[in-house]
Structure formats: C-alpha cells, structure tokens
Structure 1
Amino acid sequence: MKTLPLPFLERMKEMLGDDYNTFLQSYENPRTYGLRINTAKLSCQDFEKLSPFEIRPIPWISNGYFYDEESRPARCAYYQAGLYYLQEPSAMTPASRLPVEPGDFVLDLCAAPGGKATALGAALNDTGFLLANDISTSRARALLRNLELFGIKNMLVTDEKPARLAQRFPAFFNKILLDAPCSGEGMFRKEEALARDWTPEKSAELSDIQKDLILKAADMLRPGGMMLYSTCTFSPCEDEEVVAHLLQERPDMELMEMPGYEGFSEGRPELISTPISPEAFDPSSLRKCVRIFPHKMDGEGHFLALFHKKGDSLPPVFRPAGKGPDKNTRKWLEEFFAEIDLHTLGGQEFDWNRVEIRKDKVYYQLPFPLDLRGISFLRNGLYLGDLKKNRFEPSQPLALALHKEDIEATISLSVSDERITRYLKGETLNIEPEEAAHKKGWHLLCADGYPIGFGKLVNGILKNKYPAGWRV
C-alpha cells in the first residue's frame, strides 16, 4: 500500500463510507496510460489502421485510447507528426465535456502543458480561435510547443496574469476551460511526491486561489456561453465549495448536466462546510457536478463542473485589420510557395492580410485582429518562418500545420523506414528519384503521408532542416 497522509485518509473514509476499502485497494492497481487522437489531422478509424502498437478505446472519451506502458508511443514518428497527445485517461475528460463548436472563441486559462488546450484546438479545427494562457513563461513555452506539434494555427498563447486578461477580454469567449491549480489528491497513485508534499493547509490556500480564478473566468465568458471548471483533487473545499462560491457571487451562472458515463459519480453538496444562501441557488444542483474516483474507473481522480451563462450574446469588438507584408517579403514568400507548389494552408486559402513581420520572423496572424496592447504573449497565430538574405526559410510549426495534400513537393516514407528515425535525429538522408516530387529544392518529409518536417533536396541528398530543439 502506498503511504498516504493520515488526514487525507480520514477525510476520504468519511466521504466514501462503504466504498472506502475498495478505494484504498485501487492504489495497489497499476496506473493506466492513454493517448488522444488529433482529429484535426486524422480520424480515429484511420489511426486504428495505422497504429504500430496495441490500443484499446477509452469508453468515455470518443477519441481516447489506452495503451500499454511498454509500447512507448512517444518514440514513434507519429508522435512527432502530432497525430496524438499522451494524456492520463481521466485528464482527457474536462476538454471532452466542453462542447466546442466551429467558430467558437475559446479560452484555456491555466493551460500548460497543453493536454486540454490541444484537445480544444483540435476541436476548433482552424475555425474561431483558442487563447491558451499560463502565468509561468517557462510552462507557457512548453504549452506553445505542444500546440505547434498539433498544427494549431488559430491560437494566441499568453503568459499573463488572469486579472490582466479579464480586463482586456470582458464577456468575450464562447467557451472557457478552467483546469485550476489544485492539491493533486487524485494523482497520488500516479505521482507519490504529491502525497508526500500534501497538507490540509495547502488545500485551503488553493481554494482561495481557485475562487478568485473562477470569478475572473466567469467574467470573461460571453452571455450564452459555457464554462467548465475542473481539478484533479477530491477535496470538497477545492471542488463543490468553489462551485458554490461562483453560483453565489455570479447569479447569471448556472450548473449544467454533462454527458454521462456509468463510472461517473455525482457532486456532493453535503460536503460543503461554508454557509450557502438559499436565495442564491439550490444546493442540490451541485449533484450535477461529476467526480471521478480510481476505484470506479480506469483512471485517476478528477472533478468537473459545467456552467452556462444566462443572457444574450453580443458580438466582440476587434481592432482594424493588418495591411499584410511589404513587397519584398511577399515576393520571397511567393517564391517559396511556388517552389513547394503550395495550394492551401491546412486546406484553407492563404490570406496575405494575415501576414506580419517581427524581427525578420514571419507570422500568420489570427483571422480576428485582436487588440493586444499591454498583453504579454508568446505567439499570435502561426510562425511561418524566417527572412534570410533575399529568401524565406520555413519553420517547423509551418511543416506541422500543413497537410500532405496542401503541397506537391513532398517525400513520404513509411513510419518503419529507418530514414525517418535518422531525420528526427538531424541526419541527412539518401532519397531515390522516384520518392521525391521534384528533383531538387524544398520538400516536406512525411511519415505515411503525415508531415514531420522540411528538408532541402540536392543531388539525391535531403539536407535536414529539422530544428535542433525538436530532435529526438
């Protein structure tokens, strides 16, 4: 039996009653491993045919699969192509229960390292836009890398304080996900260090932070919009009490039912220790919340609450659109596009008005020109590449944002071809004439048709352009 803090065990025994012993026994079970398919790049059916390792569907996640630990899917080139994200099965639940629709403006307020943000971005599938934020710059960089790996183009990645975002984006987003920083009780089986560092006092401190965050998030939600609050803890003061705080402070917010699963447990209004004003809301509505326990599902512990904001939505306000690139920049980009025979970008026509140059770097901005004055951000849209002396060199994020059918200049090798592994290590490759679309120049290297990066073909040798920071 793993060593668990005594105050935690005492509270769980009171909370679970007859289920307590079964809950304890679940800590003897091995943890489960999961991956979530990037449906913006391929269907689940296509991946099932491609997968070189055994996978089993996660019954409550439409695009989630269990895999065995020894499969090591991070070592497969499909991972480097952004075809899936490795994520604990229960942690896939929050993003799957926020009903993102095409064209939505979506906020992931505490987004790093990107497990939920990549799911939201893939669901948008290059419509609307995703603002993914984390207050830590280092964590925001990891978040950006994962979004780029998934080929997300319509994104704004920020490292801002939530209060600053709330000032700039009042009643702005259609959908918001707040996966709040928490005590991590639900992850004790997965990460024993969390159990060693846990204290009841820490849980109470985090509850105050969560109550502040959930109010700021609600203020950024557009009337008619939906917000999902989640934690990976069992603590009532971080779960039901935070939900109750929002419902009392923001009467325009109401709890919604979520698509169910037989292993889900309902919220527990009787666990709340703080007073509730009966005029504010019906405490029994807290049963609409969802608790995930490891003895009832093949995953770790989680808590979820889905909200709707009453009222009629108003259209957002944008700043004037950009002017596009200067004459020379457009010429060099057009020369590169002609060399690779680019038809579309991710299946969509290229919009020159979205091109912006900053310090010799070329970006494809959001389709919605936001006012970002005073906002600290790492990325606004897609990083296309760099301006060199009288030429343009493409970026790795551009390679991952493309589909094979977007361009003619491709080289597609089997994922089992040892040259794919050598490419990911930064080595040059020998390419047969029949394997390349053109005799020379820039090509997009693909693993079974899924882009993994650029190279430049010269006399049958593909010069490796896979960035050093991305190499395996």
Structure 2
Amino acid sequence: MKLPVSFEEKMKRLLKEEFDAYMDCYKKPRFYGLRVNTRKISVEAFQEICPFPITPIPWIENGFYYEGTAVSPGKHPYYAAGLYYLQEPSAMTPANRLPVVPGERVLDLCAAPGGKATELGAKLKGEGLLVANDISSSRAKGLLKNLELFGIGNLLVLSEEPGHLAQYFPEYFDKILIDAPCSGEGMFRKDKKMVRAWEEHGPDYFSKIQKHILLQAAAMLRPGGKILYSTCTFDERENEQAIEFLLQECPEFTIQAIVPYDGFAEGIPQLSNTQMEDLKKTVRIFPHRLDGEGHYLALLQKREKAFDLSGSPRKSGSLAQKSQRGRVREVPEELISFWQDVNWELSQDRLEIHGEKVYYMPSEVPDLSGARFLRTGLLLGDWKKRRFEPSQAFAMYLKKEDYQKILDFSCADERVRKYLKGETLEVSDLVSPSEKGWYLICVDGYSLGWGKLSGGTLKNKYLAGWRLS
C-alpha cells in the first residue's frame, strides 16, 4: 500500500523506533469485529448460540473478532434480530470507555451510522434518554434504522448543526460522546479510499471543525458531567492540541483517566503547544500494538458549580417546557384493544399522536419546536381508518415475554428467511386455523417483526425497506 510521503514522515517523528513495526501492520489483513447487544442478550448467552467462530476482544467485554473472509454475520437472522452490531474493534472503544449508567441523559453528537449510539443506548437499559444526532439527514436515516434494530426506544434522533442543538439543551446532558469527523489516518489499512480523502481534506481542515464541536458540546454538558472525545486519526492537531484548545477555552474541564489496557499508548504532551502533563491520561491506539485500527480518546469532566450560601448547588441551565402538541387526552380504542396482548402497562401521559403516528415518549423531553428531528421516542405504530398497526420499531423493542401472541421459529427453519424476504408464511402446524390477529415473529426467542394471522396463513408485515433481497 502506497502512503503519502508527508504522512510517513509524520509517523516517523511520532513513533520513532516503533515506526517499522507500524509499517509492518500494512502487510497484515484488517480485523473484523462484532459487538453484542446487551439490551437483548447477555454475552454468555450469545456465545452459546453464535453460529460461527468468534474470539473475545480483550479490552471490550462484549466485543468479539470474527473471520471476515469466511463468514457473513450481516446476513444471519440473528443480525436481523438486533443481537449484534458489526464494528471495527478499535472503534468499539469510545462508547465502551464512556461510563454511562441507566437513567442518564446521553448525547452522541456525531452519531451516524450508529456504532457508538447503539452501545450507549444498550447501556441505558431503557432508562433515561439517548439523543443521537448527525448533521447529515441522509446518514441520520441509517442511524435511526440501527437504533430501531437494537430495540432502543428512549431516544431522540436529530439532524442538526451542533451550535443549533445547543440552543435546545443548555447544560442538559450527563454524558456526551464526540466521535469527531477527522482526517481518518487510523483507517488507512481498513479502507484505502481514506488516503485519497486525506489528500483532499487533511488535519488542518478537520481541526477547525473539531474545535467548534468541542465548544458546542461543552455548552450542553451539565456541571459534573463527562465528555468522551475520539478520532480515528494520529495527527496531534486533531488529538492532543484539540483537547488543549478546549481546556484553554473552558478551564472548568479536566482530563480524566481512561480504563487502561496493555495495548493502549499514552497521549503525548510534547505534541501540544503547552506540553501539559495531563495529556498523558488520554489514549492513543496504534494498529501495531493491538489487533485493531488507529484511534485517539480523551475523557473530560466538567467541574461542578460552586455552592451558594445556603449550601445548595447552583442549578444548571433550564430547559424549555415540553410541547403539549400531540398529547393524547383519550387513548384510541383500537390501541387499547391491541394492548390487551402487551404485557406491560401503558402510561397515557407518555403517549403522543402526530397525524397517523403513535409515539411512546421518554419521560422527559424538551420542546423541540423548530429542530430537525427524525424520531422522538418509540414509534408504536400507525392509527388510521379506525385501526392500529404496530410498527417495526415496536417489534424490535419488545422482548418475547412482552407479548402474548408469539410465533417463534428455529434459526434453521426455512420460514425465517422467507419471512425476512417478505413472503407469506404457512403456519398451520404452529397455530389452530381459528387463531387470528397480530403476532410477534421471533427467531430462537428474539423478535424480528410482525405478521397478521388468518386461517393458518401469516400475512408478512416485515418492514419493506428492511427485507432481504
């Protein structure tokens, strides 16, 4: 692989005696990884049912290597059930090292296609709020699909410029992940096209964008909250110097230690203008030190605000009141009828209807009037012509025990692939001819989508845009 001369010279300066070992990694194949969706299945249970060989990624507790040239996990029904996400091993690190706990408000600021956001959503375990944003509306659509596939319901998916987003969420979030747009030097081995992109837009171009994003994120973080900043590049202008810039502009931030791993390298203070020693707490990932591509990570914490004379902490910025538009005063009878087969209680104050769409909202959402959003909350389904049709997103959100009418197929049953292709299924061997209505279709106990049963035949309701070709 031919690398730009200026890039090689930079890496020689950066790595010194490790440069030859780094260059040798280009002679080796890239690594393929998948990350288990712990919202749906435990790591141990997944290892028991995984139909192809996997090997643990040592620094990611729910991450595994697989042989990318030998298997196609993206075509397996377990992928359609949202049991795992395909992701480069090093790219799993940022969301893994951001300490998210259930109930928190979490923002993934540059979230598409969803590799980090899906892990953050799984960590929340259905509690709190995940806001996933990407400035590109087309990329945000792919982001939404991946979050729906993972069964994440406590979410907002937006497509906003970070500066505009900050107007809606002043000092609001407990945790923020910034997987910043970057020059991509760490991905040269994985994708050769990144070299040409680097020659067109290098570190100087991206460092300006990153500084802007960091400042906007800082304004949205509550006092005491944490930001995880990451790039997939090696250049100091996008890494140590970006963090140095934030600390100079926002002195209320401090660098925090990241959970270590033997293959991680320390950040390099000498690459910053001030040579601040705390930059050693940041992490560099090099492909010659572990089995993955290149990354940089920095964990930052915003200082708590001072106490007033009464001893109470000063409150962070307030949010606009939640909009009343769409609020349900009376639950439609059709939804009540459908809900008789759902095994969890519906809170009316979290229901909203916009046009024909019925949503189940997170417990706390600000007024987003004027914002470009693709999804607020969990889409339950469509209410039209005096009937309710449940959505694909709702099916992926439900677990087998959440719904009473189930058709659970073995992974080996040919009807699973027929279902994923959108075909009508004959299921008279599983249910009596008198049974009818909406059924949740599962594979080995994990939801895939809906079907409508009548006379032993299942009308396929798997979302058209998700079907296998």
**TM-score normalised by length of structure 2:** 0.95
Shift of the alpha carbon at 1:433?
A: 4.4
- After superposition, the C-alpha distances for 1:434-466 in whole angstroms (9 at most, x for unaligned) are 457982111000000100000011111111001
Shift of the alpha carbon at 1:22?
A: 0.5
Shift of the alpha carbon at 1:201?
A: 6.1
- After superposition, the C-alpha distances for 1:31-71 in whole angstroms (9 at most, x for unaligned) are 00101111011100010111111111110001101111121
Amino acid at match of 1:377: F
Shift of the alpha carbon at 1:469?
A: 0.5
**2:321 is matched with which residue?**
319
**2:400 is matched with which residue?**
404
Counting only pairs closer than 5 Å after superposition, residues 113-128 of structure 1 correspond to structure 2 as: 113-128=113-128
Counting only pairs closer than 5 Å after superposition, residues 163-312 of structure 1 correspond to structure 2 as: 163-199=163-199, 202-272=202-272, 275-276=273-274, 283-312=276-305
- Which residue of 363, 370, 383 maps to 1:367? 363
Contact 1:5–1:198 (CA under 8 A) maintained in structure 2: no
Contact 2:426–2:456 (CA under 8 A) maintained in structure 1: yes
Q: How has the CA–CA distance of structure 1 residues 286 and 447 changed in structure 2, closer, same or farther, with 3 Å as cutoff?
A: same
Distance 2:7 2:200 in 1: 8
Shift of the alpha carbon at 1:130?
A: 0.6
Q: How has the CA–CA distance of structure 1 residues 321 and 166 changed in structure 2, closer, same or farther, with 3 Å as cutoff?
A: closer
Distance 2:123 2:433 in 1: 32
Shift of the alpha carbon at 1:326?
A: 4.6
- Between the aligned residues of both structures, percent identity stands at 52
Where 2:458 maps in the other structure, the secondary structure is strand
**2:40 is matched with which residue?**
41
Distance 2:148 2:259 in 1: 30
Contact 2:82–2:149 (CA under 8 A) maintained in structure 1: yes
**2:79 is matched with which residue?**
79
5+ residue gaps in structure 2? Answer: 306-312
**1:334 is matched with which residue?**
336
**2:343 is matched with which residue?**
343
2:446 is the counterpart of 1:462: no
Q: How has the CA–CA distance of structure 1 residues 437 and 108 changed in structure 2, closer, same or farther, with 3 Å as cutoff?
A: farther
- After superposition, the C-alpha distances for 1:174-193 in whole angstroms (9 at most, x for unaligned) are 00000100000000000001
Distance 1:192 1:229 in 2: 25
Q: How has the CA–CA distance of structure 1 residues 193 and 321 changed in structure 2, closer, same or farther, with 3 Å as cutoff?
A: closer
Where 1:223 maps in the other structure, the secondary structure is strand
Distance 1:183 1:318 in 2: 37
Distance 2:60 2:432 in 1: 39
Shift of the alpha carbon at 1:331?
A: 0.7
2:427 is the counterpart of 1:431: yes
Contact 1:411–1:436 (CA under 8 A) maintained in structure 2: no
**2:385 is matched with which residue?**
389
Q: How has the CA–CA distance of structure 1 residues 318 and 22 changed in structure 2, closer, same or farther, with 3 Å as cutoff?
A: same
Q: Which moved more, 1:365-374 or 1:444-453?
A: 365-374
Contact 2:90–2:293 (CA under 8 A) maintained in structure 1: yes
Q: How has the CA–CA distance of structure 1 residues 437 and 241 changed in structure 2, closer, same or farther, with 3 Å as cutoff?
A: farther
Q: How has the CA–CA distance of structure 1 residues 435 and 34 changed in structure 2, closer, same or farther, with 3 Å as cutoff?
A: farther
Q: How has the CA–CA distance of structure 1 residues 427 and 55 changed in structure 2, closer, same or farther, with 3 Å as cutoff?
A: same
**TM-score normalised by length of structure 1:** 0.94
**1:20 is matched with which residue?**
19
Amino acid at match of 1:291: R
- After superposition, the C-alpha distances for 1:77-121 in whole angstroms (9 at most, x for unaligned) are 111111111000000000000000111100100000000000000
Shift of the alpha carbon at 1:367?
A: 1.2
Amino acid at match of 1:165: L
- After superposition, the C-alpha distances for 1:226-255 in whole angstroms (9 at most, x for unaligned) are 110000000111000000000111000000
Distance 2:201 2:455 in 1: 66
Where 1:49 maps in the other structure, the secondary structure is helix
Contact 1:109–1:162 (CA under 8 A) maintained in structure 2: yes
**1:56 is matched with which residue?**
55
- After superposition, the C-alpha distances for 1:309-350 in whole angstroms (9 at most, x for unaligned) are 1014736546257584254x5211011122xx1112xxxx32
Shift of the alpha carbon at 1:373?
A: 1.7
Distance 1:305 1:93 in 2: 11
Contact 2:168–2:319 (CA under 8 A) maintained in structure 1: no
Q: How has the CA–CA distance of structure 1 residues 228 and 460 changed in structure 2, closer, same or farther, with 3 Å as cutoff?
A: same
Distance 1:356 1:190 in 2: 44
The alignment's C-alpha RMSD in Å is 1.6
Shift of the alpha carbon at 1:432?
A: 3.3
5+ residue gaps in structure 1? Answer: 277-281
Contact 2:433–2:455 (CA under 8 A) maintained in structure 1: no
Shift of the alpha carbon at 1:388?
A: 2.2
Contact 1:433–1:439 (CA under 8 A) maintained in structure 2: no
Shift of the alpha carbon at 1:353?
A: 1.3
Where 2:39 maps in the other structure, the secondary structure is coil
2:375 is the counterpart of 1:376: no
2:24 is the counterpart of 1:31: no
**1:153 is matched with which residue?**
153
2:414 is the counterpart of 1:418: yes
Shift of the alpha carbon at 1:374?
A: 1.9
Q: Which moved more, 1:239-248 or 1:197-206?
A: 197-206
Distance 2:82 2:204 in 1: 38
Q: How has the CA–CA distance of structure 1 residues 207 and 459 changed in structure 2, closer, same or farther, with 3 Å as cutoff?
A: same
Contact 2:323–2:367 (CA under 8 A) maintained in structure 1: no
**1:279 is matched with which residue?**
none
- After superposition, the C-alpha distances for 1:246-282 in whole angstroms (9 at most, x for unaligned) are 011100000000100000000011123xx43xxxxx7
Shift of the alpha carbon at 1:359?
A: 1.7
Distance 2:255 2:371 in 1: 31
- After superposition, the C-alpha distances for 1:388-426 in whole angstroms (9 at most, x for unaligned) are 211100110000000100111001011111100000000
Where 1:71 maps in the other structure, the secondary structure is coil
Shift of the alpha carbon at 1:369?
A: 3.1
